[in-house]
Chains A and B, each alone.
Chain A
Amino acid sequence: MDFLMTAMMGLILYAIMIPLYFFSANYRLPKKNIILGVTVPYAHHQDAEVEAISKIYLRRLRLVTLGCLVLGAPAFFVPMSVQILIMLTVLLLYIAGGFLVFVRANRALMTIKRQSGWQGTHTVPAVADFRAMEEKSRPLPRLLFILPCLVAAVPLVPLVQQVIQGRVVWDEVLAYALTVIWIPLILVLSEAIRRQNAEIVGAVSDLNVILTRIRRREYLRCMALTVWLLALTGLAIWFQTRVSEFFFLALMLILTVVVVVYAFKAEFAVRRAQEKYTKLVGDTLAVDDDEYWLWGYFYHNKNDKRLIIKERVGIDMGLNLAKPLGLICMLLAGLALIAMPLIGVWMVAEEFTPIEYSVEGNVVTAAHLTAREFDLGEHFEIDVIDVFPSGTRTMGTAIGTLRKGNFNFEGIGPAYALLHTDRPPFVVITAEDGQVLVFNFVAVFEPLLR
């Protein structure tokens, strides 16, 4: 069973990396006359030098992908925290490697474009199609958003009952309430997306209207799926203690796969339409704003007042780096990406640092990376149990056998735990102020039993 769980976790890496490969490889196919982030006139799409760059790009991308797939293989055979460290590091390497390959191909194609004089003097960077702008995608049924709101609220019902009974579980209530609040926010965002900028593939308004409709519709569906994912994840976390850990992990894997598959399906539906209509309209409109796209990837245009812009290819949105806020957000996103493996380092430290307990008078100290003191008071109760109780994690860590943080245990109620589940027996201490502590039973607790 442990091996199956490790394997499932490892599969998540591959479930992300393999679609990412197809996503990146698709940039070499012309959409809106853009190949690898460079606007190439329709007549030159099939030129030998353009095709050569596309082939080199694909070959390098395959090498990077294969290398990362091999590097990620050990993730199937190591403890959970090390597995996550490997997964996050490999994912960062893959994103960085794929990006470098893209930038090299973009630079090479841009050089050819300049040397060949493909940069037309009549090109225009900003275009509006009045008819495409007026396209109003039908809003999705409200029920599609209301139902997940109700689903997300299910865990709140027993929690509110516990609050009414005087058992304080506010942090847990807040965690689930946040999921419910997110959903209406996404609904508001989806309304903004219905009015996002039109897609322009050429000087044929009918096709621009159709493309705009496809893009907006796919985006809305993605939003609806995100809402359902949020609701179901909340529910899955709530069910975590009522079902086996294996079932929970399997459920999370299925949800991840569904979201990744659907997001890519939406992205490729738009890309396919962009590719198809590019072939239909050819060079009917010379839109070329390459000068505003750094490496064909980052948008920087001082003349553009917008902060959020739509990417030229696919369904995605991006930021205008000429705006200070856009630059700050992009830097933060970059830092978060680079810091991804640090999460793995922290998890390894969490899993493998030994727990130390000490008792001085009526003060218990539990140390694990940091030390925490608990004053038991004069009148406290202490009990020893042989079986680790089941319960929900409110806030804290659950890696491998380590349980650290606030939990809500069956038969005990809200408690702070710092222990390894595979080292029974366990000591349950109820302090004078009502706080409950659950630790591994070690020799230092023996004096408290007398």
Chain B
Amino acid sequence: MLLSLDFSGDVPIYQQLRNQIVLGIAAGDLRPGEKLPTIRALSSELGINMMTVSKAYQILKQEGYIASDRRSGAWVAPRTDEGAALRKLEDALRLIVAEARVSGIGLDTVEEIIRNLYSRPS
């Protein structure tokens, strides 16, 4: 799993971290049960604040992508709650599909983009 940050971009660092870990899980680079680096190690590796990494991990935990405890650190959570994930996907797509319709993008094109993204997650 390779993770890269762009300090000059508009996306906050914690959001970049969160997004890339989700992409890593989707691409199979991070498998369920696989341990994630500690907050201290990852912040030191990227030269960013520990709080930033902690915030990204908290969001990932709330979203159910990772689990953690004090002793074992953080690891990729097994995907069990498919219903919740579907609901979240529908919510996220609703706005994107609406924007596509306003822009005049056809259903076929939207489907093709999603198909491509699904086969190449990262």
Interface on A for B, CB 8 Å cutoff?
Answer: 124-131, 133-134, 195, 197-198, 200, 203, 205, 285, 287, 301, 303-306, 309, 320
Picked from B7, B30, B46, B49, the residue with its CB within 8 Å of the CB of A128 is B46
Known: A129-B2, A133-B37, A133-B41. 4 other contacts (CB 8 A): A125-B7, A130-B2, A287-B4, A304-B47
A129 in contact with B47 given A134-B37, A303-B7 (CB within 8 Å): no
CB 8 Å contact bits of B12-42 with A (1 = contact, 0 = none):
0000000000000000001000011100011
Number of A-B contacts (CB under 8 A): 65
Interface on B for A, CB 8 Å cutoff?
Answer: 1-7, 30, 35-37, 41-49
Q: Of residues B3, B4, B46, which shows the largest number of chain A Cβ atoms within 10 Å of its Cβ? A: B4
A126 in contact with B4 given A133-B45, A305-B43 (CB within 8 Å): yes
Nearest 3 pairs of A and B residues by beta carbon = A304-B47, A124-B4, A130-B1
Write the nearest CB–CB distance from B52 to chain A, whole angstroms.
9
Are A127 and B44 neighbours in the complex by a CB distance under 8 Å?
no
Task: Give the nearest-CB partner of B5 in chain A.
Answer: A126
- Across the interface, which residues of A come within 8 angstroms of B5, CB to CB? 124-127
Q: B interface, by DSSP: helix, strand, loop or mixed?
A: mixed
Are B46 and A126 neighbours in the complex by a CB distance under 8 Å?
yes
Task: Give the nearest-CB partner of A196 in chain B.
Answer: B44
Task: Show 25 A/B contacts (Cβ-Cβ < 8 Å), sorted by A.
Answer: A124-B4, A124-B5, A125-B5, A126-B4, A126-B5, A126-B7, A126-B46, A127-B46, A128-B2, A128-B4, A128-B42, A129-B1, A129-B2, A131-B1, A133-B37, A134-B37, A285-B2, A287-B4, A301-B47, A303-B47, A303-B48, A304-B47, A306-B44, A306-B47, A320-B47
Write the nearest CB–CB distance from A328 to chain B, whole angstroms.
19
Report Cα–Cα, A195/B45, bound state, in Å.
10
Picked from B1, B4, B49, the residue with its CB within 8 Å of the CB of A305 is B49
Write the nearest CB–CB distance from A293 to chain B, whole angstroms.
14
Write the nearest CB–CB distance from A281 to chain B, whole angstroms.
12
